[in-house]
Amino acid sequence: MLQIVVVQRGDTLYKMAQRYGATVDEIVRDNGLDASLPLVIGQSLLVNTTGNVYYVQPGDSLYKIALTYNIPLQTLAKANNLSLKTMLQDGQRLYIPKGTKRSAESIAYLQPTSIPIKESLLNATRALSPNLTYLAYFSFEAKRDGTLNEPTSLAPVLDIARQNRVVPMLVITNLESGNFSPEVTKILFNNPTLQNKFITNVLETAQKYNMQDIHFDFENVRPEDREPYNQFLRNVKARLPQGYTLSTTLVPKTSSAQKGAFFEAHDYKAQGAIVNFVVIMTYDWGWQGGPPQAVSPIDPVKQVIQYAKTQMPASKIMMGQNLYGFDWTLPYKPGNPPAKAVSSVAAVSLARKYNVPIRYDYSAQAPNFTYYDENGSQHEVWFEDSRSLQAKFNLMKEQGIGGISYWKIGLPFPQNSRLLAENFNIVKKG
């Protein structure tokens, strides 16, 4: 049975395999490890335990374990002769009855940085695609004249989607010169003739590439264009070919009255009624230009999801999940050079290089550590690991939402696919 464990001082792959009844080869494979490198104190690993035995880890509760393994809380307690109020002890052995996985949809965004697309990025896409419902190529850019700036080198991505029964998404943005342009959306929303031309171009492009979901990621839209944006989506929906779906990206909100140009044009209630599903960007509380903190702390993410459920069916909600973290140079001051983005693999490598332990913030449900570089500068790193990801999967189950959306492919996180498949039956539509 697969479970998450945490490396302690003195642990080796051999010792962990012995302790949990796994093999070194299994641990290396499931975690994408280099067996020649030492483990890092505080590093989280996936291990296969013998039979249906689970070893209690720090921060565990019966409720959390029941969610993780898709079983009723009462069933778990009864199987172990425990009361629902039992306080678990680290290392305690539990028997886990067989659970029933629920279905979920999954999206991953692909943002090539070179043409032709690097083979490493295509390989990462191939590896994740068996556990994807949708593949989102970022992006087709809307232009002021109602045409689309189309990316090149689509063929290999579309081939991967077809081979893995993944629905390709036509992701349309209002990016102009690298920034989200409120002027582009203003023109397209408020000029009926131009809008009609634009929708025609969008639909023809979707059919040309057989991209069966049309997705609008319009950000930094003017607050006064809130209703014009809603009407635009209604107009697109009215012209959708049979079998095609419509979706949008939403910024994270916790109130319909939330103020600020970033938030006001994104109408959760209206868009939830119009489109088939929404992707909510539940990340970037910790961001490159801000102070060090978790990128997607669990409580703020939960608050956004709970608000969204008051505005639309839970089944339409796709929770955004970052596959990156950040490395900040301290002391943080506004206007500092931006923090450096790091993958989960790169973060663990940094902790190993500078011989520092990884901590876990149970409030934010996120791993972090600090280190001093060769120049004597202190750094603080927050990233994602299997524990923080499992916390998000448990939130999805608890809130009954439709699925998850990853930003973005190419940031190595070897444990993700295995953990996703252990938690959910991924819907295939392609």
Q: Which residues are catalytic?
A: 219
Starting at the earlier edge strand, list the strands of the sheet with 325-329.
340-342, 325-329, 378-382, 366-372, 359-361
Structure tokens at 407: 């930003």
**Within 10 A of 85 (CB to CB), how many other CB atoms are there?**
7
H or E element that contains 269: helix 268-274
The Cα–Cα gap between 407 and 335 comes to 25
Could you tell me where the beta strands, DSSP code E, fall in 373-421? 378-382, 403-407
Distance CA 350, CA 344 (A): 10
Residue 55 and residue 6: Cα distance in Å, rounded?
11
Q: Which of 4, 2, 1 is nearest to 365 (CA)?
A: 4
Cβ count within 10 A of residue 133: 25
DSSP assignment of 179-205: EE-HHHHHHHHH-HHHHHHHHHHHHHH
Q: How many other C-beta atoms lie within 10 A of the C-beta of residue 250?
A: 26
Residue type, 190: N
- Give the separation between CA 94 and CA 76, rounded to whole angstroms: 9
Task: Give burial (CB, 10 Å; 0-12/13-18/19+) of 385.
Answer: buried
Closest CA to 402 of 130, 35, 133: 133
Looking up tokens 């392609």, which residue turns up? 430
Phi then psi dihedrals of residue 318, to 5 deg: -110, 115
Give the whole-angstrom CA distance, residue 412 versus residue 137: 18
8 Å CB contact between 193 and 158: no
CA pair distance 99, 129, nearest whole angstrom: 25
